[in-house]
Amino acid sequence: MHMTMTGGCLCGAVRYTIEGDPLLSAVCHCRNCQKQAGSAMSVLIGVRDTQMEITGTLTTYQDTGESGDPVYRRFCGICGSPILSDLPSQQGMHFVKAGTLDDVSGLDPKMHFWTASAQPWVRYTEDAVKFDKTPG
């Protein structure tokens, strides 16, 4: 089965289409993702850059992750919606903010990264795979 997913920013200036299944769905609890999301965590899907077509202009903020490596956080320059992040250590991948998907009904992330930075009130499902940091 071939999946097509669509999504975009709050104001509609940035839209995207993803062809094919995501390679992963996960939750990041690092402090920088918390700050960028304005929430306790960032839910994301990982896709190959060749799977994704973007219309509109993304603005980039170069961040430094808790690992010390750069994180390129890409967002709509008009409304500020975070759309995706790119990591030099994961060439050819986009980590798309799942909240920007038009339909999140099939999303069920089981992996949790940077749980050492998770808010103390966060609870995990029994089948969750947890990493204190990012594996690798």
For the stretch 34-64, pLDDT in tens is: 999 999 999 999 999 999 999 999 999 999 9
Q: Identify the top-confidence range among 27-36, 64-73, 92-101.
A: 92-101
CA atoms within 13 A on the CB side of 7: 23
Quote the pLDDT of residue 1.
Answer: 46
Quote the pLDDT of residue 136.
Answer: 63
Rounded to whole angstroms, how far apart are CA atoms 49 and 13?
A: 20
For β-strands 70-76 and 58-64, DSSP reports them as antiparallel
Name the class of domain 4-130: mainly beta
Q: pTM of this prediction?
A: 0.90
Residue 111's pLDDT band, with cuts at 50, 70 and 90, is very high
Name the 3-class secondary structure at 66.
Answer: coil
